[in-house]
Amino acid sequence: MDSLSSTVSYEDLYLTQFTLDHAREMIFWEKADGSLSYANITAAEKLGYSREELLRLNARDIVHTYSKEESRATWDILREQGEAEMEATLKAKDGSLIPIYCSMNLIRFKEQEINCVFARDWRRKKEQEEKLNEALEKVRELSEKLREENTLLKEEINLHYNFNNIISQSKAYKRILRQAEQVAGTDATVLVIGETGTGKELLARAIHKLSKRDDNPLIKVNCAALPKDLIESELFGHEKGAFTGAYQQKKGRFELAHQGTIFLDEIGELPLGLQSKLLRVLQEGEFERVGGNKTIKVDARVIAATNRDLQQMVNEGLFRQDLFYRLNVFPIHNIPLRDRREDIPLLAHHFVKKHSDKAGKAIGNIPKSGINKLMEYDFPGNIRELENIIERAVILSTGRTLNLEDSLPEGRKSPNGNDGFFKSFEEMQRDYIISALERTNWRVTGPRGAARLLKINGRTLASKMRRLGIYREDFVD
């Protein structure tokens, strides 16, 4: 040390002291007992002490929540490694807290251990970090919101794209479309239940379009339109000479639908004698042609539709119970137009364009009074009736505005039954059940439930609600 001292001039010592005192970082010399033997001017100014006051303090007085155990652990690291780095918080004289990043070096001098601490004020950096974290949190929130909106948008796009022949903005009807979309990817038998004119065939076509059988045919059979003595031949085919007029072999609709889909419309009209043969196709995937004895295997997905109460027909012995269960794997209850009235203006404009284009007319306007009349009308014939009304109005219209005055039928305009409109039994049931549910705050079962009020079994009520398309979310926000 003597030889080193002899080479250090006063000027060197002065410059060294000046550099230490005026460095931008806070510099402390800490002894092993925590006392401070040196603190530069920057440290005193930032902490709000005079240098004399600061040197009378212990390191634990200015390091926020710095315990004896932490102090001992820090010194152990310094003795083992000679240096250390850490983040800490200093407590100023006025009680304010200053976040710091410090580097420490152990110096042994004249049998003393000195911890030389260089502490950098990290307040600006912490503020920047907080701002960055806030910004990142906002980005995360916006990203999550965007993801949710994107998911909803994709659902809307998918519904519009997948069901581009079906026009609807009804929340209740979109649930039906989602059910169709969910079952489409399976081979499950679907039973579409709904009143005449509600678009059951459109749903069947959409299910086929969305299925893996899309590249193969969709074969339609209207069980109500075929003579009873020809239905079996139409469904299963016949051999040459099987009956009078069978001049050659003919494939049935099931064979034509192989690896595709067969749509059995008005399945409730299928004669009881043929129901067992249909059941066999559903269960075993096989049948024989009329007049033949060769068993034919077929892979056809079945979608059936009806406007009748098949369960009631089962009870009356008009429909096989086992066939009903095979058809009712995935029932979809297609709601009538009066239960999706928000779709009436959309459909009306669609049909106006369709039929005015056909007629070579340029009708582009439906007066508000006309829309109001359509909204008031009950449409017992559903969408089919609406289209007929619009087509008739297009024919009668001479200008660019649709004339509905002479097209709407009289005497069936209000669903309230005050103008001569006589509701069907099913409609009365639906209204009565909804009334009971509203009175019981939409409780279905239990002592205060609608089932108790209506004096029927809870499961029976739940089944009727599904069949009649009654869902709580359509009535309660």
- What pLDDT shows up at residue 60? 87
- Please say if the pLDDT value at position 186 is more than 90: yes
Whole-angstrom distance, CA of residue 305 vs CA of residue 328: 10
pLDDT, greater one: 7 or 61:
61
Classify residue 157 as left (phi > 0), alpha (psi -120 to 50) or beta: alpha
- What pLDDT shows up at residue 416? 43
pLDDT, greater one: 243 or 206:
206
pLDDT, greater one: 466 or 31:
31
Mean pLDDT, rounded, for 465-470 = 79
The residue to which tokens 């009066």 are assigned: 338
Mean pLDDT, rounded, for 68-87 = 89
Range name among 104-108, 123-127, 337-341, 436-440 with the lowest pLDDT average: 123-127
Task: Read off the amino acid at residue 2.
Answer: D
* Alpha-carbon separation of residue 66 from 74, 83, 357, 371, 467 (angstroms): 11, 19, 85, 77, 71
- Give the ranges where 163-266 is alpha helix by DSSP (H): 171-184, 200-210, 228-236, 253-256
- Return the structure tokens found at 100: 């710091």
Mean pLDDT, rounded, for 3-19 = 72
- Helix or strand run (H / E) with residue 227: none
Q: pLDDT band at 421, cuts 50/70/90?
A: very low
Strand pairing report for 330-333 and 190-193: parallel
For the purposes of burial, counting CB atoms within 10 Å of the CB of 276, is it exposed (0-12), middle (13-18) or buried (19 or more)?
A: exposed
Whole-model pTM: value is 0.55
C-alpha angle with apex 155: 151 to 159, nearest 5 degrees? Answer: 170
- Please say if the pLDDT value at position 413 is more than 60: no
- Please say if the pLDDT value at position 432 is more than 70: yes
- What pLDDT shows up at residue 474? 63
pLDDT, greater one: 110 or 31:
31
Percent of the chain with pLDDT over 90: 34
Range name among 46-60, 152-166, 303-317, 435-449 with the lowest pLDDT average: 152-166
Read off the pLDDT of residues 106-124 as tens digits, 9 standing for 90 and up: 999 888 899 999 999 888 8
Helices (H) and strands (E) in the chain, counts: 20, 14
What's the farthest any 2 CA atoms get from each other in the chain? 134
Task: Read off the amino acid at residue 377.
Answer: Y
Read off the pLDDT of residues 377-402 as tens digits, 9 standing for 90 and up: 888 889 988 999 999 999 988 888 88
Whole-angstrom distance, CA of residue 263 vs CA of residue 259: 13
The residue to which tokens 């009881």 are assigned: 272
**Those residues with Cβ within 8 angstroms of residue 409's Cβ, 6 or more apart along the chain or in another chain:** 377, 389
- Note whether 436 and 450 are within 8 A (CB): yes
pLDDT, greater one: 418 or 179:
179
- Please say if the pLDDT value at position 159 is more than 50: no
Range name among 32-41, 142-151, 290-299 with the lowest pLDDT average: 142-151
Whole-angstrom distance, CA of residue 240 vs CA of residue 252: 13
Classify residue 224 as left (phi > 0), alpha (psi -120 to 50) or beta: alpha
Give which of 233, 228, 231, 179 is closest to 207, Cα–Cα.
179
pLDDT, greater one: 419 or 147:
147
The residue to which tokens 């979608």 are assigned: 303
Q: pLDDT band at 410, cuts 50/70/90?
A: low
Read off the pLDDT of residues 206-235 as tens digits, 9 standing for 90 and up: 999 999 999 888 899 898 888 777 888 889
102 backbone dihedrals φ, ψ, rounded to 5°? -125, 145
- What pLDDT shows up at residue 164? 59
The residue to which tokens 């007029």 are assigned: 245
- What pLDDT shows up at residue 7? 65
- Please say if the pLDDT value at position 446 is more than 60: yes
Whole-angstrom distance, CA of residue 229 vs CA of residue 273: 11
Whole-angstrom distance, CA of residue 339 vs CA of residue 342: 9
Q: pLDDT band at 322, cuts 50/70/90?
A: very high
- What pLDDT shows up at residue 424? 66
Average pLDDT, the chain: 84
Mean pLDDT, rounded, for 178-202 = 92
- Note whether 328 and 191 are within 8 A (CB): yes
Give which of 115, 61, 63 is closest to 87, Cα–Cα.
63
- What pLDDT shows up at residue 192? 95
